[in-house]
Amino acid sequence: MKAVILAAGMGKRLQEVSGGLPKSMIKIGNSSIIHHQLKSCINVGIRDYVIVLGYKKEQLKSHILELIKSENVTFVENPIYDKTNTLYSLWLTSDFLNDDFIYFNADVLFQSGLLKKISAQSKFSQLLLETKSCAEEEVKMIIDDQMRILEIGKKIPIKQCAGEFIGIGKFNKEVIKEFVYYLQKGVDEGQSNNYFEYAVNLLVKDNILLAKPTDDIPCIEIDFPADLKRAKEMFSL
């Protein structure tokens, strides 16, 4: 299994505290966010990576290669990272999506126990769900009583949502061809600045994707300075 990490963005909302670094290079304790992610991957036996770069790509590439060998990672450039979003960045990796893979946004901090939950063998693809009351800005999920994902996105009414998608998922090879088709459809229809959830919403119409609860294993998506402060409180690593 490989990990696909989207790390192209600059993190505009964190520029005041990042010192101009790519968001994924911000330190939490002794390691950057992306180094924490890679260490978690290594802890569960993941050795191969596809990583999308954009903002300050050479600096981030060098930082990543401090921890993993170049032969284990394929770097994909998003040259229009400032005009696109996760749908386009993931679409750029399409040629490398040929088997089960774990998907990350590069701004999520978590304990490796979450990867053990989602990397275990499952008949269905899964997205990690933090069950909680959500805010408008968060990516939310509607699920049924069998944990099947019915809808995902930021615009879901808060009263209908089961919790927040934390930016980590596992896609089984059985759905990859159709998933790539919907990513392509999004690009073709002018959705390049949309989130990858656009393609997921099309995928769940004909496929079962399950919400996998985080079960209170610590995790946080870091978008704002307040998130960064909370992450440092949660992860004294």
The structure tokens 């870091």 sit at 222
Residue pLDDT, tens place only, 60-72: 999 999 999 999 9
CATH number at residue 94: 3.90.550.10
Domain span including residue 96: 2-234
Residue pLDDT, tens place only, 158-187: 999 999 999 999 999 999 999 999 999 999
Domain count, the chain: 1
Residue pLDDT, tens place only, 50-94: 999 999 999 999 999 999 999 999 999 999 999 999 999 999 999
Residue-level pLDDT at 236? 66
The percent of residues above 90 in pLDDT, for the chain, comes to: 78
Residue 135 has pLDDT above 60, yes or no: yes
The overall pTM is greater than 0.85? yes
Q: Name 126's bridge partners.
A: 170, 210
Residue pLDDT, tens place only, 111-132: 888 998 887 778 899 999 999 8
On average, the pLDDT of the chain sits at 93
Residue-level pLDDT at 32? 94
Banded pLDDT at 15 (limits 50, 70, 90): confident
